[in-house]
Structure formats: C-alpha cells, structure tokens
A = this chain, B = another copy of it.
C-alpha cells in the first residue's frame, strides 16, 4: 500500500521536474534559477532541497532527461520503437522511418533528427554538449553516463546496420593507430558483430560532421545565410559524407 505521504512526494518530484524543464526551455542552463523553480512549484527555496540536493542534482536530472529524450527521438527516427521505454512523450517525432526501410534512408533520418531535435531544443543541446557548468562533473557510474551511452548507441547503430548490409564501405586504414584498437573493442562490446578499428574511427568522424554542422548552425556561425539555406547546406553536407562512403 502506498501512503498518502509517498504519493505526495512522487507527485511533487514530478512537478519540480516539469518546472525545471519548462524553465530550461526558456532561459538556458547557466541562468537556471533554483529559486524560480521553487516559486513555480509553490514551495520555499529551502524546501526544494528535500527533493533535489541543490542545483547540481537538478542539472544531473535535466542532463539525463535530455540524453534519453534525444536517444528516443533517434531510435524512433530509425524505426526502432521497441528501444524506447517511455512512449507517449516522444510520440510525435516528425519522420519516424519504417524498420524495413533501406538502411541508408534510416541512417539519413537518424542524422536529420539529430539536427531537428537540437534546433527544437537549443538549451538542452547546450546543456548536453556545451561547456560543463561551473565545475560540475557527472558521476561516472551514474544515470547520466548510462543515458549518454544509450544516445551514442542510437547514433552508431544505424551506421553499423548500413555497413553490415553493404550500403556503406569503409576502407581499411593501412596502419591503424594504436588507440583506435581499444576504441574498436569498446564499440564491439555493444555491437552484435565486432567492428574494425577503421570502422570505429569512421563512425566517430561521422558523428563529428553531424555534430559540428549542428553546433555551428546553432551558434549562429551561419547567421549570414538565410533560413532555408542552412537546411540545404546541412543536406549537402550529409550527402557529401555519405558519398565518400559509397561502395563501388
């Protein structure tokens, strides 16, 4: 049986969570005000400490939420609805691909969703990928790291599938540097079939293009282009990246 007290607690926990997300949507991670959140929930600033132990705990929770939300969108975009645990909130993803679609199309949809999500949630993007807040260090074994790894998996997986199905070709490096072997091992633990060091490196390179294009656009480095030109640029960048890995 659930006591009346416990019920109120989980309800207030959810309230705070929602208020924090609402505020993050408006003001950016650095200006996230603990006192304003307390005001929104209708509680005193000190009382908030009974639920989240200070600002760092709030940020930890927001970061974890951000990673899982992004990962959900990425999984849905490539047609892997079974990977997302909590449907309902992530229901309306614009371009959810069919799981039977060609691997390259699913990869494309995943990459486009990375941009779409980031443009729609700029503050979350900066919270996840921007500078760490004032010496805030995520607990390495905590939920944050797990959510981060899941997001990385959602990003690597479609590239891996396209590679396995022969739609992407990655030339083997003549002399793969030492460190990349360990990277390949790390990725291989997640993948069904071991990947080569060359493929592992190439995957991170693809993430780099993707991330850099989004980060530069979001930061306003392309502000002298008009709105739709940035979309065209992004599409051209992705196609160029894929062309470089076309088999033939």
A residues near B (Cβ < 8 Å) are 27-31, 122-123, 126, 129-134, 148, 152, 171, 173, 176-180, 182-183, 186, 201-202, 204-205, 207-213, 215-216, 219-222, 224-226, 228-233, 235-237, 240-241, 243-244
Contacts and interface: CB of A to CB of B under 8 A. Distances in A.
Q: Say what secondary structure dominates the interface of chain A.
A: helix
Please indicate which of the listed interface residues A213, A230, A236 has the most CB atoms of chain B within 10 Å of its own CB: A236
A185 to B, nearest CB: 11
A131 B182 contact: no
Q: Report the copy number of this chain in the oligomer.
A: 2
B215 A205 contact: no
Most chain B beta-carbon neighbours within 10 Å: one of A28, A237, A240:
A240
A219 B129 contact: yes
Contact of A233 (B29, B204, B212): B204
B236 A173 contact: yes
A233 B129 contact: no
A204 B215 CA distance: 12
Most B C-beta atoms less than 10 A away, residue of A131, A176, A235, A240: A131
Q: Which of A29, A208, A219, A222 has the most CB of B within 10 A?
A: A208
A208 B213 contact: yes
B207 A216 contact: yes
A55 to B, nearest CB: 12
Given A130-B131, A186-B224, A178 B237 contact: no
A233 B180 contact: yes
A131 to B, nearest CB: 4
Which 9 pairs between the two chains have the least Cβ-Cβ distance?
A179-B229, A212-B212, A177-B232, A244-B244, A208-B212, A126-B131, A211-B212, A208-B213, A205-B237
